A and B are shown apart, each in its own frame.
Chain A
Amino acid sequence: NAGVMQNPRHLVRRRGQEARLRCSPMKGHSHVYWYRQLPEEGLKFMVYLQKENIIDESGMPKERFSAEFPKEGPSILRIQQVVRGDSAAYFCASSPLDTDSGNTIYFGEGSWLTVV
């Protein structure tokens, strides 16, 4: 059973370019979460999606960031016009259910974005 798959693992972008990070959840999981980890910091919740729906985006910056989870294909986290402060590790996680608190979320290996 493949785990949560993220790509690319490492991405370098110049300031002003766009970054696209992809996440395929574990088989059987229909709920996806994105977290950001700044250097030497903890994980900050960004967004929670189900297929074709954004359920909670309270942690997403208001500008330049967007996320989607289409009916077919992986979830995408898109960062437009990147700035140096966007340099971080972006982690995707998935779970099979949303309201059952006992359910664990499982993480991918992360995508490390470096903005130069």
Chain B
Amino acid sequence: GNSVTQMEGPVTLSEEAFLTINCTYTATGYPSLFWYVQYPGEGLQLLLKATKADDKGSNKGFEATYRKETTSFHLEKGSVQVSDSAVYFCALRWGFKTIFGAGTRLFVKA
């Protein structure tokens, strides 16, 4: 069946450091891929998405590229800020069902 695997957290970085959060997936067919972000006590907000192979999603300095050959959708940001501290979820959507990874908690220190 379809599944999403994310790197385990927490990830702790200093401000302005480079961020990578790995995400790989298993899917039949060609799903759409998403990154969501969850701040404490809040719901999930869409961060970015890609709907087909080689698409790059980007938003607020974050980006991720849909890599069909490696079945990956790694999240990157060149320079993180304290305000980026949150939990990040990788997800895939095939048909009507959206499946989420376990989430990766990011702490950014000033």
Interface residues of A (CB under 8 A from B): 4, 6, 31, 33, 35, 41-43, 45, 48, 55-56, 91, 93, 98-99, 101-110
The dominant DSSP class at the B interface is strand
How many residues in B have their beta carbons less than 8 Å from beta carbons of A?
Answer: 24
The residue in chain B whose Cβ has the minimal distance to the Cβ of A4 is B43
Q: How far is the CB of B8 from chain A (nearest CB, A)?
A: 12
Q: How far is the CB of A12 from chain B (nearest CB, A)?
A: 16
When distances are taken between beta carbons in the complex, the residues of chain A under 8 Å from B103 are 41-42
When distances are taken between beta carbons in the complex, the residues of chain A under 8 Å from B43 are 4, 6, 91, 107-110
New contact pairs (14) apart from A45-B97, A104-B34, A107-B43, CB-CB < 8 Å: A6-B43, A31-B96, A33-B98, A42-B89, A42-B100, A43-B89, A48-B96, A56-B97, A98-B96, A99-B95, A101-B30, A102-B32, A105-B98, A109-B43
Given contacts A107-B44, A108-B43, contact A102 B89 (CB under 8 A): no
Interface residues of B (CB under 8 A from A): 30-32, 34, 36, 42-46, 49, 51, 89, 93-103
